[in-house]
A and B are shown apart, each in its own frame.
Chain A
Amino acid sequence: MNDSNSLLKGSLSAIILKLLSIHGHMYGYEICQHVKGLTNGQMRITEGAIYPSLHKLESEGLLISFTEIVEGRNRKYYAVAPGQEGLTESRLNLLQEFIGQLQLILNPTSLLKPTDQ
């Protein structure tokens, strides 16, 4: 596991919500592969992390799940719960705000006024 993966764990629920709000419904393996594909394999959600996050979001009522029979077996899909799109959006905004604040700390030059530089 590289260092980016440990940072990823904290943002996992926001990533899941974002992916589901874009794609409608996805299953666990699909979410893992999607993150891997989007980051050219740099980031990889471990299976041990994805399912507890999905279950937590479902228990909070942010996600719903449904099962379909695919190739003779049950496949469980997750989707953003109806009426929870707003809450999802606010969580994503919160994450974006946090990233912005983190950027200010990590890159203090952005805090300086143009005249100071």
Chain B
Amino acid sequence: MTTTSHQQKTIYSLIENSLSCEYEEIQDELYDHFLTEITALMKNDISFTDAINIVYNDFGGQPELLRIEASYIAMIKKQGKVLYKQFASQYFMSFHWLIPMLLGVLVYIIPFNKLPFPFIAINILVYFLVVIYGMWYFKKWRLEGEYRSFNNEKKNLKAIIIFNYYVRPLSSLSSLIFVFNHTDNPIISFLTTVVLYLAVDYSVSFLKYMKHNWLLSSTKYA
């Protein structure tokens, strides 16, 4: 005996309502367990209602489901910390950081304040739109659980492209224009440009590193 789509929805809702629903992956894992066990019980002439109650109670109800979810979140955080430490040491040990620093210096000495106003205005507008889109996208990414699994390659690729080809150059350019127009202190504007350049490069490199290593070390979608 197999479960109907309505029964499958009931199972998924039960799990969804029992968890805090931050990560899709743990919901999927528990759903697979529930469904497999309920199907096995129903083959032994146990009704769906009884089967779902048996499995839910075997798990220990909501308190145990929340404990399972907490263990999953702890694992994610631990993996994230390990990867972050690995990335930070690799980034600074490889002297990769020198490239954005040098580019920052180069960008600083180019006289952007002499560029025509429409060009500057369009760039600033695009920059803010991209930043807003980036923030919205990241929030959505986390809520959908893709934050951990990276199971949507196309979306992820889009995020990389946006950061690499839009946010990095535009943020440098816009910040440069901003500091040129709003501060008379050349040291502050110089440091702002270089640090911002480094920060954006660090973020992009981190995103790439996480994508690559997370895929290798954890979930792969067949």
Which A residues are within 8 Å of any B CB, using their own CB?
Answer: 27-29, 46-48, 51-52, 55-56, 58-59, 61, 64-70, 73-76
A sample of 5 more A-B contacts (CB under 8 A), given A48-B59, A48-B67, A66-B220, is A28-B29, A48-B64, A55-B74, A73-B28, A74-B29
- B71 near A73: Cβ-Cβ < 8 Å: no
- A65 near B28: Cβ-Cβ < 8 Å: no
- A67 near B59: Cβ-Cβ < 8 Å: no
Contacts of A73 in B (CB 8 A): 28, 31-32, 35
- Given A55-B75, A56-B71, A76-B29, A66:B36 Cβ within 8 A: no
Query: Is B152 among interface residues, defined by CB-CB distance under 8 A?
Result: no
Query: Is B60 among interface residues, defined by CB-CB distance under 8 A?
Result: yes
- B32 near A75: Cβ-Cβ < 8 Å: yes
Contacts of A59 in B (CB 8 A): 74-75, 78-79
Min CB distance B40 to A, Å, is: 9
- A55 near B219: Cβ-Cβ < 8 Å: no
- A sample of 17 inter-chain contacts (CB < 8 A) reads A46-B60, A47-B33, A47-B58, A47-B64, A48-B64, A51-B29, A52-B68, A55-B75, A59-B74, A59-B78, A61-B82, A66-B219, A66-B220, A67-B219, A69-B221, A76-B32, A76-B219
Which of chain B's residues 56-102 have a Cβ closer than 8 Å to chain A? 58-60, 64, 67-68, 71-72, 74-75, 78-79, 82
- A65 near B222: Cβ-Cβ < 8 Å: no
Q: B217 — nearest CB in chain A belongs to which residue?
A: A64
- A74 near B78: Cβ-Cβ < 8 Å: no
Which B residues are within 8 Å of any A CB, using their own CB?
Answer: 25, 28-33, 35-37, 58-60, 64, 67-68, 71-72, 74-75, 78-79, 82, 149, 151, 217-222
For the complex of A and B, the 8 pairs showing the least CB-CB separation, nearest first, are A52-B71, A48-B64, A59-B75, A74-B28, A55-B75, A59-B78, A68-B222, A66-B220
Contacts of A76 in B (CB 8 A): 25, 28-29, 32, 219
CA A64 to CA B28, docked complex, whole Å: 17
CA A75 to CA B221, docked complex, whole Å: 10
CA A46 to CA B59, docked complex, whole Å: 7
CA A69 to CA B79, docked complex, whole Å: 24
- Which of the listed residues A56, A74, A76 has the most CB atoms from chain B within 10 Å of its own CB? A74
- A29 near B37: Cβ-Cβ < 8 Å: yes
- B33 near A29: Cβ-Cβ < 8 Å: yes
CA A73 to CA B221, docked complex, whole Å: 11
CA A58 to CA B78, docked complex, whole Å: 10
| Contact of B222 (CB < 8 Å), options: A29, A47, A64, A67 | A67
CA A62 to CA B148, docked complex, whole Å: 19
| Contact of A67 (CB < 8 Å), options: B64, B79, B220 | B220
CA A55 to CA B30, docked complex, whole Å: 13
CA A56 to CA B32, docked complex, whole Å: 20
Contacts of A61 in B (CB 8 A): 82
CA A68 to CA B219, docked complex, whole Å: 9
| Contact of B218 (CB < 8 Å), options: A27, A46, A64, A75 | A64
Q: B218 — nearest CB in chain A belongs to which residue?
A: A65
Contacts of B59 in A (CB 8 A): 46-48
